[in-house]
Structure 1
């Protein structure tokens, strides 16, 4: 009987910034300018590293991937942010909302793994300068990048599958400018304990086991 009285949600309203009044245009212009600069800088890094032989070093390759993840993350969130400013909120489908969050989570996870790999690269360069070029060769760099992407995608798919099991009913508004996890879970009428537990475990894996990730790289990929 309770389930029959529930209305399943198919659309989410992002409230964004409310009551901006005269600050709407200046704030929109500021965020748009920051976004354009972010896109230009990241595209410039990607193009320069790809086109210049002098920049074909391991660290620059990692910086190129970092620029790519930053570009994907900002392009995933900022357009919705700009819409919420102009229209005092925006309506998106529930599936789009979940996709936006998972893309954001994937890019953030990738950035964490890349930073760990870059720290390992600097460790090798400082502690083993004579063996640096043999340890951090092109094959190893490619494997490190692919491993980082693979781990990020696996974590994202796992989170996606957990969120897909939830049911959303009655509440349709999120007081935010994009579909972040906490406000999204607050809309759910299902038990979100296991989703929160899974997210916490992912944070532990990403935040605490990154040194172990570097050790894995050191012992497994230098051969």
Structure 2
């Protein structure tokens, strides 16, 4: 990851990070994030709301990672993926919310051009990582329920690490490609982004250049990195449900379903809000509705995920009780 960050910054600096605009347009080095600026009197309450959500997200995901790493009973493929998902969720919300909070305090809407591109890069990379990790978790549940006797052999530590490493590489590379495509664009005088963070569809709308190739790359990567993993998840759960229905006892069916409940909830939220965001951005004329939909996707879901995996999970609750009891014993 360090290599990609250094390459990313080197490419920006080599291009002087100032987008050239055609004709007699002036140069600029910043964008304006208009996100929640339609109601200035709500800036204070919104700052408090997003600050609370950010802190809850940070504490919740860090606590979940601590629980998984500290309890040896949770050193299994499923919880390995859960802890990685928590880390990625923490990175996603950190990519967008702190900058928004600073802008609330400064009563400013400005984000530097280089900062916008960095936000594009990391948000896209971490969003893709979420996608791949959810797919890996679906495969893990498929093997556990459909091939329980071979689970330990198939879901080896080596395979789990390889799946996560491959997810990182693909996500970082595809995000780097899309960002390099943006650096070739020129922008008009209108550099107001109707959003609270930089996103590819919003940036492409502001360009004076021909964005056909950019949109093609965006659609292809969205298709390959979105639809293909979702198809894998749907296939995995179709096989899971088919196997569960063959279980003779109601108790056995409930136990099998309960192991998938948390993951299914997260998948539904992730893809439901993700599809809603991009459908709303392409069909609705209301920037406020599109911004609220994006907040659900980029802020609310990372906050909810640790609670979804902990509130209905007996293993997580037991591990948390152990940590609390150890903490109280030292007092």
Same fold (TM over 0.5): yes
- Which residue, 47, 56, 59 being the options, matches 1:37? 56
Q: Is the 8 A contact 2:186 2:207 kept in 1?
A: yes
Q: Is the 8 A contact 2:34 2:194 kept in 1?
A: yes
- Which residue, 193, 198, 222 being the options, matches 1:203? 222
Comparing 12-21 with 26-35, greater Cα deviation is found at 12-21
- 1:90 alignment partner in structure 2: 109
List structure 1 runs of 4+ shifted beyond 4 angstroms.
Answer: 211-214
Q: What is the distance in 1 between the residues matched to 2:188 and 2:161?
A: 45
Q: CA-to-partner distance for each residue in 1:130-172, whole Å, 9 max, x for gaps?
A: 1101111111111111011111111111111111111223222
- 2:189 alignment partner in structure 1: 170
Q: Is the 8 A contact 1:84 1:177 kept in 2?
A: no
Q: Is 2:96 the partner of 1:113?
A: no
Q: What is the distance in 2 between the residues matched to 1:97 and 1:67?
A: 24
Q: What is the distance in 2 between the residues matched to 1:99 and 1:123?
A: 36
- 1:78 alignment partner in structure 2: 97
- 1:187 alignment partner in structure 2: 206
Decide whether aligned partners of structure 1 residues 130 and 105 sit closer, same or farther in structure 2, where only a CA change above 3 A counts. same
Q: Is 2:57 the partner of 1:58?
A: no
- 2:37 alignment partner in structure 1: 18
Q: What is the distance in 2 between the residues matched to 1:85 and 1:67?
A: 27
- Which residue, 75, 86, 92 being the options, matches 1:67? 86
- 1:218 alignment partner in structure 2: none
What is the root-mean-square deviation in Å for CA atoms of aligned residues? 1.9
- 2:153 alignment partner in structure 1: 134
- Which residue, 101, 122, 125 being the options, matches 1:103? 122
Q: CA-to-partner distance for each residue in 1:91-142, whole Å, 9 max, x for gaps?
A: 1211110110111000110010111110000000000111101111111111
Comparing 71-80 with 177-186, greater Cα deviation is found at 177-186
**Count of residue pairs brought into register by the alignment:** 213
Q: What is the distance in 2 between the residues matched to 1:58 and 1:131?
A: 14
Structure 1: 5+ residue stretches without partners: 215-223
Quote how far apart the aligned CAs of 1:187 are: 1.9
Q: Is the 8 A contact 2:193 2:203 kept in 1?
A: yes
Higher relative contact order (CA 8 A, sep 6+): 1
TM-score (norm. length: structure 2) = 0.61
SS in 1 for 2:144: helix
Q: What is the distance in 1 between the residues matched to 2:93 and 2:25?
A: 35
Quote how far apart the aligned CAs of 1:59 are: 0.6
SS in 1 for 2:32: strand
Quote how far apart the aligned CAs of 1:212 are: 7.6
SS in 1 for 2:110: strand
Q: Is the 8 A contact 1:69 1:111 kept in 2?
A: yes
Name the structure where helix makes up a greater proportion of residues: 2
- 2:27 alignment partner in structure 1: 8
Q: What is the distance in 1 between the residues matched to 2:204 and 2:38?
A: 25
